[in-house]
Chain A
Amino acid sequence: MGLELPKYPEMEEDQVFNFTDSEIVSHVKQALASVLSGDNNSYNQLVGVMHHSKHLAPDEVALLETTLKALAGAVSSIDITYHDSLLSAIFCMSMWNYGPHVADALAELIVSLAISNGKYLDLCLGMLVSNFTPPPYFLDKLKMPHGLERKGQVLSRVHAAFKKIADYVPLAPLRLLTIVLQGMPTIYHKDRAIVIYVENMLKLESGEIGELVGSTILMAVVDRLIELDVEIGWDAILQDDFSKGIFEMELEDVDDIEESAEPDVGEFRLSRKSLAGNSIAELLDNLLVLTFEHLESCEREGRLAKVFETLLQSFQVTVLSAYKSKFAQFVMFYACALDPENCGMRFATMLADLFVQDSQPQPTRMSAVSYLASYLSRAKFLAASSISSMLKRLVDWCLEYCEAHDGDINPNAHRVFYSGCQAIMYVLCFRMKVFVDVPRLKSELLIPLEQVLKHKLNPLKVCLPSVVEEFLRQAKAASLFTVCKTFIFDGLLESELSRAFGGLERLDTFFPFDPCLLKKCDSFIRPMFVFWSMVKPTYDDAFDDDDDDDGSSDDDLVQDFVNENEDIMNDEFGKSFDEQGVDMDDFDYALKKMSITPKATSNYKFGGRFQEPARMPSRIRPSTSPESL
């Protein structure tokens, strides 16, 4: 058990002594004790050794390692007031700077310190947490094999140290939790540090400590996702551009600017977005991919159900209440896709429960039903029976509502009802083909729906014209029921009435699971996703083309877009954005096309003549009816 101590500063150069471990420990103890008597010499040498960090010679490395080990044996002699310079030197050390042996010794010392006295616990945990992220100079090396190796070395030691501390101090995870949450880089740190930090948080979640703190950590991750998500917003961009509020955007001049800027939209957008917007989008993309991979590992370990409960709770608390979240909800989508029977149904049931509860605030209920509609339409993995059972629940609720309420159209008073009706129609636009072929479903689902839609509250007139239009077209083709009144929508995306029931939040045009526009994230979601181009409507396409003959230039534009879209979907389905040659310009363009941009309002207001083709409740929009123009 002898250890050779090379060149201790006060020793003569050419002399080599052999010391045992305990001798070194007692030497260090003496150095520590001498401070109390006023002799700081050997103590200062000890502190000096701790400050060696970069470009260490082999003998310096050995000295550092030996000293750290000796300190670990002498922790009981360390005093927080007398030895603060030593302690702060230790807590400033970063494992990223050292090789495995020193890192081991350092981790051992930190564990011994943490469990030796309550006073050091927080400091030690804080030091370990600060090792989650490498020093700035190391960030660039992370991608290289050497960097990856170092990352593996450091992180495994940090997490092993947490485990040891928790074994000896059972409440340490709770203190760790606070430190981890406080130390989390904010959204203003737009570098890779947050990615590796989140990676560590997820690692904590999957470890033994995760039993105690996992749910809170997972929630914090989702919170950060949503924070990044809301940073990417059309509202913000438009406001930045014109220094005006969302309502003022509807002014004509703004609209003019918008239109005139349309031709060179790529550059126009890029100049404003590429710097701030896209770096956040990229960051969010990376974080979402991390979360997806974490969910996959949870599924492999058979604890997805437990994690899903936390996700569900956090979805309810943050995502659902966030104003039109764009990307964060795909975490739920992916979790559902991993286990459609349990998680998938649990999610749908939770949303339906929220919708039917009178005690919930109206916006929550409407958001919930928007999520439900979008989820039922877009999730490829859901069985038809599950979708129909959910739809039946919605239809039953609407029918009950109709029976209880009498009166004319009132978009404001019956917002929840109209959002429910729109949700049903939206799902049917995607899934009607499946349902009409089953007689039981037809009688259980579609016939009661007719009663709802023909009620005096007249949801057909209030809901988004584009959804109603597509729905009626499919219903007509499937000869489900006929509507005696002709609805003239002029191919509008939305109407006065739909805006009214959507309220200020514009929940009428909220379709949360529209195609995901983040590159890497999309490659995960794509195989489980129903694109509009994949939907087989009940009507015949030939009939569709005939109808379009009298289409205006707008319709052509629309049609063009559909074709383009279909081409992408049909020919290149399954490939990633990269393979399709979609670069960041297109990405920007695609982002602009999202149906949930508030820009819809301004365009509508000043003439339906300019309809941006892609700005629709998903991709339903392209169906052009004979009535248009």
Chain B
Amino acid sequence: MYATLGTGFDNDVTHCRTMSRCQGLKVCELQFDLRVLQGDDLQGKKTTRLQMEGLSVADANLVLQMEGLSVADANLLMYLHPSKSRNVSQSILRELGSLLFKFNETFDGVLLAYDVNILDKQAKILSGVHPYFGLRLKANLLLFSPKPDMLLEGKVVKLSQESIHVIVLGFSSAIITAENIHGEFKYRTKDKEELFASKSHKRHVIKVGTMIRFLVKSFDEEILHIIGSLISAHTGSIRWLDRHLEEDSEFDRSCSKLKSFK
């Protein structure tokens, strides 16, 4: 099955700009940065290619353990206008570039990065009214597709009694409103700093700058806005959760050691 992508004649400039606007986006928490790199395409011509700093799309799934991120092997069929025939590879990259940071129903997710191989050495003009030519592509796509009940991680950027604002992967904003925050968390101000602190675990604190893990309630595909919740277990400050889990597992290990001694 090939997914098909259309391309328009007049979109050239906008695509160009789409590519360039990726440069400014900083995906800060996970320490990778999307940017347009120079690379060589199949024909050996210089083209721009979107990659992630320090890791290619193929490695991404090994490194990123967060739910909602996936790497897809996609077979694509892209229609290009004949006016693009002078520089096919560039137009393909532009076309894919125009899909970045937008929700795409075909991919069922938001395209974050791609790495593409052009399979056809010779493209065919399709019969019919449109003189577009179709190209078969094989692409690795890094997709972000948050679904309800997935656990996501993000950084708290604003906190008030009403809500916690989080940014996920540096581009998607999420909000957790007061009614979606576990009653165990209590809002208070400490040295003019607003924070939510757990009643039972004093060290479990959420404030601006904290990385938190939260549950997805809904996802606005157009704006890429997430409504989240901090009610279920395993949500809250990642740092605290990890340490807590480590303690748990250490406890488990010591228990099992004890068992083995027995």
Contact = CB atoms under 8 A, between A and B. Distances in A.
Interface in A64-120: 73-76, 115-119
A557 interface: no
A402 B60 CA distance: 56
B225 A168 contact: no
B216 to A, nearest CB: 14
Interface in A234-274: none
Given A168-B167, A359-B86, A212 B173 contact: no
Nearest to B175: A116
Interface string A165-187: 00111110011000000000000
Nearest to A164: B158
A73 B167 CA distance: 21
B225 A170 contact: no
A352 interface: no
Interface string B9-34: 00001001100110011000000000
A121 interface: yes
Contacts, number: 66
A312 interface: no
A224 to B, nearest CB: 15
A184 B70 CA distance: 39
Given A76-B178, A115-B158, A117-B225, A171 B171 contact: yes
Given A76-B162, A212-B21, A168 B157 contact: yes
A618 interface: no
A117 B171 contact: no
Contact of B101 (A74, A121, A174, A211): A174
B177 A215 contact: no
B171 A170 contact: yes
A383 interface: no
Contacts of A320: none
Nearest to A174: B21
A439 B25 CA distance: 54
Interface string A205-221: 00000011101100100
A312 to B, nearest CB: 13
Interface of chain A, helix or strand or loop or mixed?
Answer: helix
B165 A216 contact: no
A74 B160 CA distance: 11
Given A168-B157, A359-B86, A73 B162 contact: yes
Contacts of B25: 170, 212
A317 interface: yes
A118 B157 contact: no
Given A167-B157, A211-B24, A213-B21, A119 B220 contact: yes
A313 to B, nearest CB: 8
B223 A121 contact: yes
Given A170-B171, A170-B173, A121 B225 contact: yes
A203 to B, nearest CB: 18
Interface string B142-173: 00000000000000011000110101001111
B224 interface: yes
25 contacts: A73-B162, A76-B177, A76-B178, A115-B158, A115-B165, A115-B173, A115-B175, A117-B220, A117-B225, A118-B220, A118-B223, A121-B223, A168-B157, A169-B173, A169-B223, A169-B225, A170-B171, A171-B173, A174-B21, A212-B24, A212-B25, A215-B17, A219-B13, A219-B17, A317-B13
Interface of B: 13, 16-17, 20-21, 24-25, 86, 101, 157-158, 162-163, 165, 167, 170-173, 175, 177-179, 220, 222-225, 227
Given A167-B157, A171-B101, 17 more contacts: A75-B162, A76-B162, A76-B177, A116-B163, A117-B175, A117-B220, A118-B224, A121-B225, A168-B158, A168-B173, A171-B171, A171-B172, A174-B21, A175-B223, A212-B24, A219-B17, A359-B86
